[in-house]
A and B are shown apart, each in its own frame.
Chain A
Amino acid sequence: MSRISFSILCPAFLVGACIAVAFSLTSGAMALSTSQSLLALWDSLWGTDFSGLASYQQLVVLDLRLPRTLLALIVGAILAQCGAVMQGLFRNPLADPGIIGASSGAALGASIAIILLPLAIQGVAIPVAAFIGALLTTLLVFNLAQSENGTSVVMLILAGVAVTAFGGAMMGFLNVIADDQALRDITLWQMGSVAHVSSNSLLLCLVVMLVMAWYFQRHAQALNALLLGESEARHLGIDVERLKVKLIVMVTVGVGVTVSVAGIIGFIGLVIPHLVRMLTGPDHRTLLPLSAIVGALLLLLADIGARLLMAPSELPVGLLTAVMGAPFFTILLFKQRKTFI
């Protein structure tokens, strides 16, 4: 197909994201008019009082909708970029951060915190445990895949499968000893949500996203070279082993941070890079930034859906990303079938 140039797509998606942000700030369970919601934002920036909203209504726009909008954008951007890097690194269109055990490790860490730690410290303990879990499992998988010949991609994926299965069994054990309330907490936590956000976690995610985006962009050319094959990349002067370690550590930090703040949000990392690759081609210099923008946009749209579909109650956003992502993944599998047979 004729690919669309980056210089057209990038502004187009940015405009789309801006519209989605405005939409996100003005829609929710509470019925506030669009102009009032936007004026509340203006008021808070410039200290004016144009919106005429009551203080609790301002609170809805500024303290509830604004932070979750920002978090959805940031988490979506991080996940989509991590997915793009993993797919490039493994030259495997089905790779996503879950494949190296990061998600299952994070889920295990969080479950341990939910079941074994007292309720009072869970607010802090769950994200920390999730992050540690993600880091430890990824390091374990990576170590298992190391040999004197370097890191084998096949070994990495197989070790990821094994560690994920082991993590699943541990989770099952925890579920057996958990009480009903903890079980329900775990289930909901695993479905992900961007509703529970503090300014500290928002700041942390923002910093991680910026550092990550800059770092990945610096390695975009190396990822492009890797598309030719590992030995070809080596001939081009790239230290492939070092590149893998550095990028996998960065992906783990990214995924670990998002999981610790928002739970497990599936399919963004898998789906978005493919979508972008179809639109602009596999050049990582354009793939990475565009994935970030489209990932942010998609997660924000999913979160708007999560807020509105069952209002005033809310759906976990991970449910909606899976509803959108799973059919896409299936189609992808069918497209790839020829390669596998």
Chain B
Amino acid sequence: MTSYRLSTYYPAQVYRLLLVLALAVFSSGSNAEPLANNQHRIISTDAGVTDVLFALGVGSSLVGIDATSTLPADVSADEIANLGYHRMLPAEGLLSLNPDLIIGSEHMGPPETIEAIKKADLTLEQLPVAKDEDTLKGNIKIISKLVDKQDQAQALLNHIDQTMADVKQQQLPVGTKVAFLLQLEGRGLRLAGKDTTGEDLILLLGGSNIAQHNSYQSVSAEALLSLEPDVIIVAGRDASQSSVNLLLKNNPLLQHTPAVQQQKIIEVDGRLLVAGISLSAVDALANMAKQLH
């Protein structure tokens, strides 16, 4: 047998990893932060909830968010811990932030983490994912009660009522066939099917979804053309370039759809889709209704 020295068998990566590991271990502090009396320490594990908390003016109480939540431009991401994917939340990571209130969606998980939160006697609120403005308003009422901001909530509710009334005034003609497309750069198109936020947006605009399948599925420009959509909504991922221009550039065939010929093709920020009908989705709806009117 050949002779070995361990060091020749371990590449530098392993040493580096062990070093990082050791550093991480020794840099962890020793005492948990005390809980302030007058302020909550809130964890939000849902993008929609995070939106509402900032709109209610309690964003500064947030100590942790999930991977889908976006922070307002003036809030530094360094101050708020990111706990990762909301269905795979780490129980200890969550408890280590010493929260007294955790708000998330019905999809929050895994079950072991939920169980740990309940055992630790923390206030946990799991809200339904909003598919319409009534659920959204219900969620806002629950959140505002939890953080004691009912007055601010009223203003939000009024804003939603007003905006949705405008949307209803500008509804699409009955039977308008709408295609909601998710544009993935370089990887084609995904068409929103049943039970998606894309479809919820179509229905709130008064249209009917041309897709008959469930969830988002890949679709070719040819198939889309054969469905003859009257309206096309494109959700892009990159806000810096026009999703409509990109779509037509990549799929010139779509020029022949009724939607493009009647210039009923509009775009919406793809990030709106992660949390159902959220506050920002309501504003986006108003904007879309205006463009299509």
Contacts and interface: CB of A to CB of B under 8 A. Distances in A.
A324 B17 CA distance: 8
Interface string B108-125: 001110001001111000
B37 interface: no
A307 B91 CA distance: 11
Interface residues of A, number: 53
Nearest to A193: B88
Interface in B23-37: 24-25, 28-32
Interface of B: 1-5, 9-11, 13-14, 17, 20-21, 24-25, 28-32, 64, 81-85, 87-88, 90-97, 107, 110-112, 116, 119-122, 196, 214-218
B216 A179 contact: yes
A64 B81 contact: no
Contacts, number: 141
Contacts of A119: 107
A312 interface: yes
Given A311-B24, A313-B82, A188 B14 contact: no
A28 B92 contact: yes
Interface in A170-208: 176-181, 184-185, 188, 193, 195-198
Interface string A291-334: 00000000001001101110111100000100110011001000
B126 to A, nearest CB: 13
Given A30-B92, A331-B11, A313 B81 contact: yes
B16 to A, nearest CB: 10
A307 B92 contact: yes
5 contacts: A31-B29, A55-B121, A56-B120, A123-B110, A181-B107
B274 to A, nearest CB: 9
A162 interface: no
Interface string A116-131: 0001000100000000
B119 A312 contact: no
Contacts of A250: none
Contact of B119 (A63, A188, A307, A314): A63
Contact of A198 (B14, B21, B112, B217): B112
Contact of B64 (A180, A301, A307, A312): A312
B217 A1 contact: no
B257 to A, nearest CB: 24
Given A1-B3, A55-B121, A179 B214 contact: yes
B156 to A, nearest CB: 27
Contact of B116 (A27, A31, A63): A63
A89 B102 CA distance: 52
A63 B4 CA distance: 42
A314 B84 contact: yes
